[in-house]
Amino acid sequence: MSGRIVVFGGSGFIGRQVCRVLAADPRVDVVVRPGRDRLDLLDGTVDALAELLRETRPDAVVNCTGALSGSGHDLVRANTAVTAKLVEAITLATPGLRFVRLGSAGEYGRVPPDTSVTEDDPTDPVSEYGVSHLAATRLLDLASAAGQVDGITVRVFNPIGPGLHEENMLGRAARLIHDARRSGAGSICLGPLSAHRDFVDVRDVASGVVAALLAPDPGARVFNLASGRAVRSRELVRLLAAEAGFTGGIQERAAAPGRSAAVDWMRGDGSRAARLLGWTPAYELPDSVKAVWAGVDER
């Protein structure tokens, strides 16, 4: 596969990195990044989206948009309905087109401690966020089985790295540490940090997305993009504090985010992506944390 790739959400945290990797790939001729001024995926019609695809004539489409927080309605609208809209538009304009969407580890729900979850394990999300993504994955599976699209979901675990925003725990910690250093505050306050998470660098996520986009025959419809290690959130924040030179207290009295509060352990098995896509993570955790801190002033 080569030629023209349309990236929705190309200015976002993951989308920027996906565009960077695509631009450096010799198999890709053109990267098209439609902005909201051209078409808003939330409010635009299926017909308008199909017309955009006819105009741009892509060889593949990737959707890097989505919502991390909000009401159940907000999450379903952004994560589920947008997927359905893209499937319908592709079916109208360019049936059978490769379409990659960003899914989430939240689709799995609770995972037994000390285990690595695989794509074949049961999915039982425990939050509206996870439900919204699992529904989108199922919609894409059904559309692919019917020949409407050539769909792939990449389940992204906990992405960190350059450009991390404050809806993510580590991005929020970086902003609080930055502000505390400026004001001289002796501590910061976050939610509970006892859970283990699989933190994967956003630059590795981007290379996995591109591998799925360009694979001639991926051999599967769902891939985990995970580091394969579980790290306690508290340890990650301490790494960030050390990188920032912050020696103050780290309190854990704020509310936990609804999308993951009920999950104490998460570690992904990325062997399918390694076997079928040739993808393995390249960035070590300290490199990712360093990049998070380096980008605080830019945000």
**Distance between CA 97 and CA 99 in Å, rounded?**
6
Cα torsion 51, 53, 54, 57 to 10°: value is: 160
Residues whose CB is less than 8 angstroms from the CB of residue 263 and which lie 6 or more positions away in sequence, other chains included? 106, 109, 110, 111, 126, 195
> Which neighbouring-strand residues pair with 117?
268
Known catalytic residues are 129
E strand map for the chain: 3-8, 28-32, 60-63, 98-104, 150-156, 158-160, 187-189, 196-197, 199-201, 222-225, 231-232, 249-251
Closest CA to 154 of 105, 116, 103, 217: 103
- Burial (CB < 10 A; 0-12, 13-18, 19+), residue 233, is buried
Alpha helices in 79-122 (DSSP H): 82-93
